[in-house]
Amino acid sequence: SLEAELNSHYSRPKCRIITLCGKLEMELAQLDNSAAEGFQAEFGIKESGLDRTIKLSYELLGLISFFTTASGEVKAWSIQNGTNALKAAGKIHSDMERGFIRAEVISYDDLMKCDSVAEARKRGLLRLEGKEYIVQDGDVITFLFNV
């Protein structure tokens, strides 16, 4: 592919080339999710250029995402790969880092196999982790803290 050829020719550390069609990306962005998925399937597009650009940017910057839930809202947090649970808690609020007790952790994939966090806990998929736990990309975390 053109992308592979350009990447091999212009290979440098922390430098990657991605190809995309701006007009196609604009059209995809204007569709609702189900229409966009149908469009991509029809033309054999596995992943949008925007999604590829975001993933590659995260990879080059050494970033991962973890998720928190509160009051029915899910929030994604970006951190450096290799960040421990204590520092991840501090990314949300300094009080959470200061009063860190432990983290309840489940991978996104494991959570999607269950109907709820309660079911995940029953199945033994929810783990209790300490300060030094290295947060993994896609972890869903509830931080327990006291200040």
Which domains are present in the chain?
Answer: 2-61 (no CATH), 63-145 (3.10.20.30)
- The predicted pLDDT at position 7 comes to 77
- Single pTM value for the model: 0.81
pLDDT tens by residue, 57-80: 999 999 999 999 988 899 999 999
* Distance in angstroms (rounded) separating the CA atoms of residues 122 and 105: 14
- The predicted pLDDT at position 97 comes to 98
Q: Reply yes or no on whether the pLDDT at 32 is more than 90.
A: yes
Nearest to 133 by CA among 70, 94, 96, 87: 87
Q: Please, which pLDDT band fits residue 15 given cuts at 50, 70 and 90?
A: confident
- The predicted pLDDT at position 86 comes to 99
- The predicted pLDDT at position 71 comes to 84
pLDDT tens by residue, 90-137: 999 999 999 999 999 999 999 999 988 899 999 999 999 999 999 999
What is residue 86's three-state secondary structure? Answer: helix
